[in-house]
């Protein structure tokens, strides 16, 4: 069997199982075993694949047929041009979150030696991408889950970056006035919607997804307490779930935040929000 035949055959199995991107997944799984480029493998009608590679590939194929996310099978996910180690201890980084990072970097251009907290850091993809792009940023990665933080620590090592790691329930244990920017992609899916998610998502950590009855629990808690650890005029930037922009804006305004801005993702969904703590007037930068 050649790579081209194997990928086609496997893609057909994936397609009949309802897997969204069958050719891509079958080629990437083979590339993870052979080390080749997925596109060249799809076009390779010469090489003859043999055992034990075929059996190893079949094992990966069966995992994908069980709807285990491709990134968990591969053990890594691309984000902002880096490969992050991921496994079921952490949420898989999503492309729309890259836009949050780009916005954060834009804001941070105005600061000297800024201190940034990546709250609910999971794999650490946000904070570490900021650090990689702008080494003068001092980054703290924080998560309630020791398991997630272990993955973040592994990514600090893999990417040869420096970051402080902190385990805590939201802002517990973080020092007052210690951050210029908090960036956070909180769990924001309403509990009742969690059961109806795409099958792959059910393999991801529930506490990284479930935002309580209306999905807004973490926003409420964070907005009520963030000013305690921000410098005066510090910024709070958060990713948003669908239809949450108005509610989160209202929560921010009610807590005295200023300069509230919302941005859309590439699908036109209001996906992220920025606001400044009122002291210091930095919101009109
Ligand atoms: N910060 C990580 C990400 O954006 C994890 C977020 C989370 O666990 N809710 O992918």
Asked if residue 42 is part of any domain, the answer here is: yes
- Per-residue pLDDT of 224-281, as tens digits, reads 999 899 999 999 999 999 999 999 999 999 999 999 999 999 999 999 999 999 865 4
- pLDDT value at residue 280: 54
- The minimum-distance atom of ligand 1 relative to the CA of 122 is 5
Can you give the residue range of the structural domain that contains 59? Answer: 3-66
3-state secondary structure of 41: helix
Residue 66 CA to residue 46 CA, distance in Å, equals: 30
The CB of 187 under 6 Å from ligand 1? The reply is: yes
User: How many domains are there within the chain?
Assistant: 2
CATH number of domain containing 119: 3.40.50.150
Asked if residue 71 is part of any domain, the answer here is: no
Q: Is the peptide bond before 225 cis (omega within 30 degrees of 0)?
A: no
- pLDDT value at residue 271: 98
- pLDDT value at residue 187: 97
Residues 173 and 40 in one domain: no
- Identify the residue whose C-alpha is closest to ligand 1 atom 1: 121
Segments of the chain with pLDDT less than 50: 281-285
Report the separation in Å between the CA atom of 123 and the middle of ligand 1, taken as the mean of its atom positions: 7
- pLDDT value at residue 283: 46
- pLDDT value at residue 278: 85
Could you tell which of 85, 98, 145, 185 is best to mutate to test the pocket of ligand 1, judged by most ligand atoms within 8 Å of the CB? 185
What's this model's pTM, rounded to 2 decimal places? 0.94
Residues 43 and 95 in one domain: no
Residues 172 and 128 in one domain: yes
Residues 123 and 241 in one domain: yes
C-alpha distances (whole Å) from 113 to each of 30, 82, 208, 213, 277 are 43, 23, 30, 39, 19
- Dihedral angle of Cα 96, 102, 103, 105, to the nearest 10 degrees: 150
Report the separation in Å between the CA atom of 107 and the middle of ligand 1, taken as the mean of its atom positions: 20
- pLDDT value at residue 195: 87
Residue bearing tokens 């804001």 = 107
Residues 10 and 130 in one domain: no
Residue bearing tokens 């941070």 = 108
- CB-hemisphere CA count at 13 Å for 134? 21
Asked if 165 and 221 count as a contact pair (C-beta separation under 8 A), the reply is: no
Residue 239 CA to residue 126 CA, distance in Å, equals: 11
Asked if residue 284 is part of any domain, the answer here is: no
């Amino acid at each position: 069997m050649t790579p081209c035949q194997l990928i086609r055959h496997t893609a057909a199995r994936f397609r009949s199982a309802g897997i969204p991107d069958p050719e891509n997944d079958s080629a990437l799984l083979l590339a993870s075993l052979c080390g080749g480029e997925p596109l060249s493998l799809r076009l390779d009608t010469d090489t003859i694949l043999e055992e034990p590679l075929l059996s190893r590939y079949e094992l990966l194929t069966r995992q994908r047929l069980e709807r285990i996310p491709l990134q968990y099978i591969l053990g890594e996910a691309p984000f902002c041009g880096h490969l992050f180690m991921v496994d079921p201890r952490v949420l898989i980084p999503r492309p729309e979150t890259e836009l949050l990072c780009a916005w954060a970097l834009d804001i941070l251009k105005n600061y000297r030696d800024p201190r940034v907290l990546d709250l609910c850091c999971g794999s650490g993809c946000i904070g570490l991408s900021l650090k990689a792009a702008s080494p003068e940023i001092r980054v703290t990665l924080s998560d309630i889950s020791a398991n997630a933080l272990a993955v973040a620590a592994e990514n600090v090592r893999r990417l040869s970056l420096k970051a402080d790691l902190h385990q805590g329930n939201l802002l517990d244990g973080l020092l007052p006035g210690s951050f210029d920017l908090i960036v956070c992609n909180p769990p924001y899916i309403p509990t009742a919607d969690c059961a109806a998610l795409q099958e792959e998502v059910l393999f991801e950590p529930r506490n990284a997804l479930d935002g309580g009855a209306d999905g807004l629990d973490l926003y409420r808690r964070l907005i009520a307490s963030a000013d305690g650890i921000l410098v005066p005029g510090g910024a709070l930037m958060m990713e948003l779930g669908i239809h949450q922009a108005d509610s989160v804006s209202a929560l921010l305004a009610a807590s005295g935040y200023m300069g509230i801005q919302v941005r859309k993702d590439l699908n036109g969904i209001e996906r992220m929000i920025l606001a400044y703590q009122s002291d210091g007037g930095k919101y009109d930068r």
